[in-house]
Every structure is written in structure tokens, then in C-alpha cells.
A = this chain, B = another copy of it.
Amino acid sequence: MEGESFAYLEGLAKVVRYFILSCTTQAGSGHPTSSLSAADIMTGLMFGGFFLFDPAQPGLPNNDRLILSKGHASPLLYALWAAAGQITEEELMTYRVFGSPLEGHPTPHFRYVDAATGSLGQGLSVGVGMALNARYLDKLPYRTYVLLGDSEMAEGSVWEAIQIAAFYKLDNLVGIIDVNRLGQRGETMYGWDVAAYGTRVESFGWEAIIIDGHDFAEIVAAFRKALQVRGRPAMIIAKTVKGKGVPAIENKNGWHGKALNQEEADAAIGLLEPFDRKLRGQMEKPKDVRPEKTASRSVPGPAYRLGEAVATRKAYGEALKRLYPAFPDMVVLDGEVSNSTYAEIFSEAYPERYFEMYVAEQNMVGAAVGLSARGKLPFVSSFAAFLTRACDQIRMSQYSDANITFCGSHAGVSIGQDGPSQMGLEDIALFRSITDSVVFYPSDAVSTEKLVEQAALLRGIVYVRTTRGTTPVLYGPREEFEIGGNKVLKGGAQDRVAVIAAGITLFEALNAHNELAKAGIPLRVIDLYCVKPIFSSSLKDSLGPARAVITVEDHHPEGGVGEAVQSALAGTEIPVYSLAVKRLPRSGKPAELLDYEEISKDSIVKKVKELL
């Protein structure tokens, strides 16, 4: 508004800059220049009456959400909360100190952070998840704000989020691009061409609002306008100066991720004078509205006949549908392959709890992190091979303390003719490498259903690996599957060798057992339905009298079932031999490919005979 005074915001922005400089100089590292460029616009957001948040109750369902997609600007985030009076100057000075919640890049160790950032281009997807939740699940009026850097606009994942946000008409989502022109090692692709960002964003159906990111009149007007946009998300594109407020380093290359020394910082703070270091900002509180809660209901167990041929991928879909009443926070996402993963069984039963995320796996996983941060229980599916597309988002999800179950279908060469591009052969390695993850690899429909139920009960990252083809039901409906456990399917006192397998190769092992039995050779067969964790004592018990182990897996040897078993048996004298996918696969019939990779019955029989 003309004549409006912004002295309050200007004063607060100086406090924010003072905090940014103080804490980075104290730490001797960090990203002050990337923080300074967005200091004005974020001060305007938080203290200009736009950001509705009760700092005393960060968990309030209707609080607005803020995601710092440019996570390296963490000093700005901490400075804002210090300027809000929510952390002390003393706490702020623990920035980057071991054990402090104020980490180099934001993590939920800091109570006002919902999702870890620092790998660029992921924050907008998290925001999409939060905005989907507000609009379609919790039906709350809170808004989600995401601060993006201009460098990260090069990441495709940002454009995945942009298109999906427009598709779902998320007018409760506001992005802010801090166009400070300079990336880590020089100018970005578009420099200060803010119009370039505007045209692109508009072409995807967003409202673009281009401003000078250091002019409070424009900043305040931009947020006012953004809040009025209906039917589509808004992107504020702010032309800014990297290092703004510290003339010595403003708009200079070579100052990315570099703290000022004490002398430089003192001089810079001196130039901010006069300002009131004790000035603190107020945020407006949101309406205390809460989502309707659906009560949890008990559900029947799975119903399959022993020997019935059912694909585990299908059992996954059936399980989701069966379990939803017991887990009403459940929400299901799929990357345009729900008729293959069988997530469609759920989507047809509960369309309001299903989001089609199209062929954009990175954004799908980021959105799941956002949904998880809002208390939902996301189940995310695609082909196991295509979950690798979101490897970085899956990696980051562990730092967001996310609660997500992933299901990768079409595991291994047993998919057959479609060929290697469609074969998940490194998914176990990927998911095992996530700290404290749980990896399930069910072989039949009953274990799939039971393990999906375990996944819903567990907190954290869970992976369920399913198979394309049908397999016979092995277990009765009352069988229980403990985490870390396994099942001895064939075993006797004369066993000298045990085969440990899961999924499709378990049936090859059972066939090998039968063939060898005819020759009077005993073979122990163990179903390793839980690949991570493996409780060593449980596995050793299951080996019984066997003195050698053969692992058989439809996966590369590295990081897979074989190495998991070796790790579980490390320190014992039991040798472990690994049959796994070691040759580059081809198109062909499933049985041909299992033979070619030497993970079929014949190879197991051969290996057992070698060992005896």
C-alpha cells in the first residue's frame, strides 16, 4: 500500500542479518551470502502477518508450513526463529556444533523443521505433499511455503513438483524463488533473468509474481497477491542480491558457502547500525481447526487357500485395501503403474485416499515425505527398477524421520521378456543402505499381506519387494511373520547345506529340495522374508545342523540377500555361497533367465552337490 511503513520489517530484517552473520562467523562455516539474499522476503513472510503459526505449539495441525528447499540457507532459518524469539542468541551460537539441533543443513532435530533439506530441488515436492494433505485429506486452511534457490531450478524434480501442484490445483502452496544470480561456482543458467523463470512457471499453470526481493512494499504486495490466487499455486520470483546487506561481498562470485572472519563480520554488523538487536517479531496465530479423525476399525485377516497361485504384487494391493480401515491415516501413491503394482485395488476402493503421481517418481517420494510429516502413513509404489529414480529422495527421507512404506514390484529377471530396463536388481541394496530401514521380501500372498500389515505398524522406512509372476500360497492364514525372522520350510537332522532364499528363488530352492530328496540328499530351505534386519541368533537357529549356506536371489550379489546373510553370519565359521544375478540380463522367458543367471533349481542342485 502506498505510504505504508515497513520500519518494523526493516528493523527485523537487520536483526535477521545480524544473526546470520554472527552464527556463521562463530561456526567458521556455513552459507551467509545465500541466507542474506532471502532475508528480506522471509522476514516479510514470517512477520508481515502472512505466516500463521503458533510457535508454542509447532504440532498444531493448522499451522502454516515452511520448507527451506535451499537448505544451505539454514542460518537464515535459524535467524528467523531467533528473531521470532523462539531460540536464544546463545542457542543460535551452537550452529553446526556437534549435538546441536541447528545443523549445517536443516533436519527435524530442530523443532521447526518438518523435512531435512540440503540436497537441492526436493523441497517443493515435500510442499506438494503437505498441500495435498491440507486440501484433500485433512481439509484444513493452512498454507505451505517453500523457499527455493535459483540454482536448484535446474533440478528436474522441481519441475515434477511444479506440474503436479498445478494438476492438483494447489492454491494453498506458495513457492518463493530467491534469484540471487549466483550458484556455487558462478552464474546460474539464467542469471537475473527473472522473466525467464516467470514464463516457465506460468506455462506450467502457476501464477507468477515477479518482485524486487529487497523492497518490502513489493514483498508485502506479493504475499497479499499470492494469498488471493485461486485454483492454482503461486510462485513469487524475487530478484535478490547474494550477500545483500554486506557491501563487501554483495553479488560477488567466490563467496558461496564461506563465513566471514570475525573482523569482517564485525565490520558488516557495524554497517547494519543503527538497529535494535533486541527487537523480536510476532507471527499471527492460525485458527485452531483440526482435521476430522476417522476411528480405526479391526479388519479380517487375509483369505487365501494353500497352493493357490497369487502374485505377491497383487497381494500387496489386496492388503492395502483390507488394512485401510485399521489404518485410517493410510494414503497410497503410485507413479502411473498402479495396474502393475496393483495399488489400483486400493485406489478403486478408496479413491479419496489415493494420489496418482504420474511418471515422476522423485516428486512422488518427496510428496510422501510431506504427507508423512503431516501424520499420514504413505504407501508408495512403482516398479522396483523405477524406485531407483528417486534414490536421492529416499536417501533424504531417512534424515526427515519419515514414515513411509515403499513397494517395488517386478523384482528381478523373473519378469522375463520386457528386459533389463524393467528389472529391479539393485533395489534391495538401495533400501538396505538406509539407516534403520526394514526390508521385506515376501514369497507368497499370505506373507505379503502380513508383512504389509507389519509395515503399517512400523515407524520409519520400510521396503516391500514384490514379484510379477504368480507363486503358490505357502502359509496358512494364522502364520505370523516377525521382523528379523525367517521360516524353515524344509529341514531335518541330516541337513548339511541350507539354501536361504526369498521371492521367486524360494520356489527354485523348494524344487531343488524335491529333486535332491529323490536322490536321498537332504537340503534345508529357509524363507528369508525379512532381509533387513536379520537377527543373527534366529538365523543361526534356523540353520540347525547345516554347516554351509547357499543364498539364491533374483538381484545383483552386491548389497543383496547374500551379503545380508554374510553380514548376519559374520564372525561364524559357516561359509556362505552366493547365487545371484551376475550376468547382464536379456529379454527372455522367466525360466530361461533364471537358468541363464544360474539362480534356478538346476544351479542350486549343482552347487549343493559341489559342496557335499
Interface residues of A (CB under 8 A from B): 27, 29-30, 71, 96-100, 103-105, 107, 109, 116-121, 151-152, 154-160, 163, 167, 183-186, 188-189, 199-200, 202-204, 336-340, 344, 356, 358-360, 362-363, 385-386, 388-389, 391-392, 395-396, 398-399, 417-422, 425-426, 429-430, 432-436, 532, 556-559, 562-564, 566-567, 570-573, 575-578, 582-584, 586-589, 592-593, 596
Contacts and interface: CB of A to CB of B under 8 A. Distances in A.
Contacts of A152: 359
Contacts of A340: 184-185
A385 B119 contact: yes
B556 A104 contact: no
A202 B202 CA distance: 12
Contact of A593 (B98, B421, B556, B584): B98
Nearest to A205: B196
A178 B71 CA distance: 38
Given A156-B157, A156-B360, A200-B203, 8 more contacts: A71-B421, A97-B587, A118-B421, A151-B359, A425-B433, A429-B433, A571-B575, A572-B575
A433 B559 contact: yes
A99 to B, nearest CB: 7
Contact of A418 (B104, B386, B556): B104
Given A202-B203, A573-B573, A587 B421 contact: no
B189 A358 contact: yes
Given A98-B586, A105-B418, A586-B98, A433 B556 contact: yes
B430 A360 contact: no
Contact of A203 (B160, B203, B562, B587): B203
Given A392-B389, A559-B563, A571-B577, A100 B587 contact: yes
A220 to B, nearest CB: 28
Given A559-B559, A588-B99, A104 B422 contact: yes
B558 A432 contact: yes
Contact of A104 (B154, B189, B338, B417): B417
